[in-house]
Copies of this chain bind each other. A is one copy, B any other.
């Protein structure tokens, strides 16, 4: 069981001296089971000798910040170069005042009301991710994030009466899982699985199916209050009226269950969490911890080269070129952008960097003047799912019952998002409203106070939401090549982890590299 493994890691962590914030939790008993990886945090005892002491970190996203933060625990001299004027990289929360000009030159200024934001990138945290441990270590408050909501809608094109219109998730689940349970109960009763199931198996399975599908005593699905009411139960004789489900065939053919497994995903199952007030707050906390001596903003890296003695990095701030010599580099720049630097990397490394394929994704935030999803639809968080290009509409889990709120009008990936990539902001809003209105009707177009969209392919310094490794990382020689340093240049980022597109992936990668580098420094 995972607990056992964690306890072991925990013991290691403490034995090695758990460093800064952990030290308060003194005894072995009380040490946090922080690590989902085998990383052992550095301590002042790991202080490196001359020739190993200075590290330049390229990029101030999660991998860069985490690398710098962990190295500093051992007294490494770190300089972090971040091209943007903010930390966080693809962990970017747009709020009132956020200004961004995309690669095509379109400038957006976010005009959301105070207290509202859009997490353009990372927006949720699974319980098993290191992201939570860093939030705890840095004192950044976390709150529940609604990843699942029975009152949201599914809406898919298709040939049945359940298609081309919004259906509540709770109705879709009750009906489809009811019928599925009925079918299996029937097949079992008919003896068609007698080669697989013993009499006792069959009895226990029948019990389960009856409860799971809310079946009648004769094993049929006839509807259920799980699907919601046509007339809700109230006082006295308002006993509530449950509607009739569509037929088994229609329900099965409608495809309304295509997203049910989302709830089971290792990294999507409830309870999901998020950082209170915007995910960027975690990275602002890292940045505060590092201080302005370490982080240089607006620092665009021009070159990064191994030298006989170490590394040389050139960067530009306000058009002025500066140069640093250091012992090591940790490069967290997105892999496909690294070959654009001046470098002396081998052809093999360059080919490896060019292997992963950047993906299109992005989000649109729509601030409404009225929280109609709560008031009219009784939806508090979660997402509606659709096969339209918007993919989903996400409802805020925060600011519940406030006057206003920011709905995520789309969060799609790949070809579906590419159809937003090609539009300017106004075009994206128009398309998102057209599609969203197919779920929420005309009110979806009304009472809009502000909008902001981010498209990662069009975003300077990212040019992609995350990458995929053709054929999978596990089979990729390029992936493995980048796990080794190129001379004194190390590569880190979620793309070099098995949690791509998650902050966790950036953290485990950063920690692995910090571990490697520190080992070399003490060799």
Chain A positions near chain B (C-beta within 8 angstroms): 2-3, 5-7, 29-30, 32-34, 36-38, 127-128, 132, 135-136, 141-144, 146, 148-151, 170, 173-174, 176-177, 180, 183-184, 186-188, 190, 192-193, 196-198, 200-201, 204-205, 207-209, 211-212, 214, 224-226, 228-240, 248-249, 252-253, 255, 257-258, 260-261, 264-266, 269-271, 273, 370, 374-382, 397, 400-401, 446, 473-474, 480, 483, 496-499, 505, 508-509, 511-513
- Known contacts being A151-B271, A204-B255, A239-B498, is A512 close to B32, with CB within 8 Å? no
- In this complex, the member of A198, A375, A397 whose beta carbon has the largest number of chain B beta carbons within 10 angstroms is A375
Closest to A160 in B: B204
The 5 closest A-B pairs by CB, nearest first: A192-B192, A233-B498, A187-B187, A235-B512, A150-B269
Chain B residues whose C-beta falls within 8 Å of the C-beta of A201 in the assembled complex: 248-249, 252-253
- Known contacts being A3-B377, A146-B270, A253-B200, is A498 close to B240, with CB within 8 Å? yes
Chain B residues whose C-beta falls within 8 Å of the C-beta of A381 in the assembled complex: 144, 271
**A249 and B198 alpha carbons, distance in the complex (Å):** 8
Chain B residues whose C-beta falls within 8 Å of the C-beta of A377 in the assembled complex: 3
Chain B residues whose C-beta falls within 8 Å of the C-beta of A401 in the assembled complex: 132, 135-136, 141-142
- Known contacts being A236-B509, A509-B236, is A266 close to B400, with CB within 8 Å? no
In the complex, what's the smallest C-beta–C-beta distance from A339 to chain B, in angstroms? 21
**A280 and B255 alpha carbons, distance in the complex (Å):** 43
Query: CB distance B253 to A148 under 8 Å?
Result: no
**A204 and B214 alpha carbons, distance in the complex (Å):** 22
Query: CB distance B32 to A214 under 8 Å?
Result: no
Closest to A474 in B: B239
Query: CB distance A6 to B151 under 8 Å?
Result: no
